[in-house]
């Protein structure tokens, strides 16, 4: 069973999350007009009461433009002799659940300005809803791998995880790629049709 725990992150790192035989292969489209990703930084948060939870503090910008939010990914939990919240697996892909958490004091205007460009959102708008948490589905697209020269991922073992998030009732998709060793992370466009919805969903919890 694939599991994501703080212990596996610190020891492997995160090597127990996915099968090492299935490396992510996520090349970028050849279109030169494909927008670049929105980079930000991540840091592991102190362990909480749930050892199966991966919690990351995400940060973008500095000073008056700084935006922070928390990303939590829930690994499978054992309950009554059975697996609760188990990852659904199919080939190299593993499906888990998680949520974003609001962080007070953020000033996300520039964050969303840059995110709109990265997602090719043609009519970006913020949601009126202001939430403390926002749930998502997440698909890990293979085991930890390397970054390719064109910005994609794959080829051999490395420290990057390529994942895809599913947000809101419409399951709007966006790539979330991260490196727990370097502290790098990014949001990248899956399809421009999702851009407006992804931005609106994230604005519910990043405010």
List per-residue pLDDT tens for the chain, 207 residues long.
Answer: 344 444 444 333 333 443 333 444 556 555 557 899 999 999 999 888 888 899 999 999 999 999 999 999 998 765 544 444 445 544 578 999 999 999 999 999 999 999 999 999 999 999 999 999 999 999 999 999 999 988 889 889 999 999 999 999 999 999 999 999 999 999 999 999 999 999 999 999 999
Number of domains composing the chain: 1
Q: How far is CA 123 from the centre of its chain?
A: 23
Single pTM value for the model: 0.83
Per-residue pLDDT at 88: 55
Pairing of β 53-60 and β 38-44: antiparallel
Residue ranges with strand state E in the chain: 38-44, 53-60, 67-74, 77-79, 82-84, 88-90, 93-102, 133-140, 145-147, 153-157, 160-167, 172-179, 184-189
- The residue range of the domain holding 39 is 6-19+35-202
Report if residue 207 sits inside a domain.
no
Q: Is residue 166 part of a domain?
A: yes
Residue 155, Cβ neighbours under 10 Å: how many? Answer: 14
> Is 29 inside a domain boundary?
no
Q: Tell me, yes or no, whether 167 lies in a domain.
A: yes
Does residue 28 belong to any structural domain of this protein? no
- Assigned domain for 153 exists: yes
102, 133 Cβ separation under 8 angstroms: yes
For residue 169, being part of any structural domain is answered with: yes
Asked, for residue 196, whether it belongs to a domain, the answer is yes
């Amino acid at each position: 069973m694939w599991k994501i725990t703080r212990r596996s992150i610190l020891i492997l790192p995160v090597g127990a999350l996915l099968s090492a035989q299935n490396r992510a292969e996520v090349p970028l489209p050849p279109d030169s007009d494909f927008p670049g990703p929105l980079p930000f930084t991540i840091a592991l948060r102190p362990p909480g009461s749930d050892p199966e939870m991966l919690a990351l503090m995400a940060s973008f910008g500095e000073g008056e433009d700084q935006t922070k939010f928390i990303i939590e990914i829930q690994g499978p939990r054992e309950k009554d002799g059975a697996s609760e919240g188990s990852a659904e697996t199919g080939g190299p892909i593993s499906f888990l659940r998680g949520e974003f958490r609001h962080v007070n004091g953020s000033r996300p205007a520039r964050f969303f300005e840059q995110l709109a460009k990265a997602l090719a959102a043609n009519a970006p708008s913020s949601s009126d809803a202001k939430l403390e948490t926002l749930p998502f589905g997440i698909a890990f697209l293979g085991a930890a791998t390397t970054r390719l020269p064109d910005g994609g991922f794959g080829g051999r073992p490395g420290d990057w995880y390529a994942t895809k998030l599913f947000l809101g009732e419409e399951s709007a998709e966006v790539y979330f790629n991260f490196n727990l060793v370097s502290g790098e992370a990014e949001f990248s466009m899956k399809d421009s049709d999702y851009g407006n919805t992804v931005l609106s969903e994230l604005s519910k919890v990043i405010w």
